[in-house]
Structure 1
Amino acid sequence: MEYLARFLIGGLAVSAFALLGDMLRPKTVAGLFGAAPSVALATLGIAVLQQGTGYAATEGYAMTWGAVALFVYSLVVCQLLVRFRWSALPATIAALVIWLLVGLGLHVLMGSSA
């Protein structure tokens, strides 16, 4: 039953975000709406159904902290590549440390309730 729920919720969410992405310009931005938001919504929907709203809230906070950490990671990678002229592999590996520190730091500082 869980797999059916994931399939239905994920399929509906992917379709909705794909439709939204199709309406956006430029098309390079539209791809952002293809997978990640729909998977997150499907996961939260299933968490609410199976574990309750408290658990889903905790999952939502974790997703938020992960998104902030990914944003910081992306900024660091861009700076290392463009400003400091690092090659891609060392820049991404070095930035992974930053991503981990930001993600864990937010988890420790903010906890599961903002």
Structure 2
Amino acid sequence: MTEYIIRFLIGGVIVSAFAMIGDVLRPKSFAGLFGAAPSVALATLGIAIVTHDAAYAAVQSRSMMFGAVALCLYSMIVCQLLMRLHLRALTASLLATVVWLVAALGLQAVFSGGA
């Protein structure tokens, strides 16, 4: 339970810092890039290093990078499905979720030996 409280507090501080950075940058659409995901990832990695070892944190950070690449692919697929095929948002996002899952698990299998 203490780990969740620490993660919440660290995440909140980092979210606030990223929000201030996003507020300064132009265009304002960049503000969303500095939202919760980077701060939660940093808080998670910080806790992983403190409670476990560096190898454990390395596996977590590698998995986060694979997820980020898969999310980028997911986003591009959703945009194409919406703009070119004029699918409904729910349909496009469900189809792209399959692509995200295959990409994330595929990257994990290829670069981590399936671990």
TM beyond 0.5: yes
User: Which range moved further: 1-10 or 59-68?
Assistant: 1-10
Give the structure 2 partner of residue 39 of structure 1: 40
The count of corresponding residues between Structure 1 and Structure 2 is 112
| 2-structure distance, mates of 1:73, 1:13 | 26
Give the structure 1 partner of residue 50 of structure 2: 49
Give the 3-state SS of the residue equivalent to 2:86 in structure 1: coil
Q: Is residue 71 from structure 1 mapped to residue 85 from structure 2 by the alignment?
A: no
- Deviation at 1:4? 4.2
- Structure 1: unaligned runs, 5 residues or longer: none
Residue identity (%) = 57
Give the structure 2 partner of residue 104 of structure 1: 105
- Deviation at 1:2? 2.3
CA RMSD after TM alignment: 1.4
| 2-structure distance, mates of 1:32, 1:14 | 11
Give the 3-state SS of the residue equivalent to 1:86 in structure 2: coil
Q: Deviations over 1:37-56 (max 9, x none)?
A: 10000000000000111100
Give the 3-state SS of the residue equivalent to 1:84 in structure 2: coil
User: Which range moved further: 36-45 or 22-31?
Assistant: 22-31
| 1-structure distance, mates of 2:68, 2:20 | 23
When the two structures are superposed, what TM-score results if normalisation uses the length of structure 2? 0.89
| 1-structure distance, mates of 2:92, 2:18 | 31
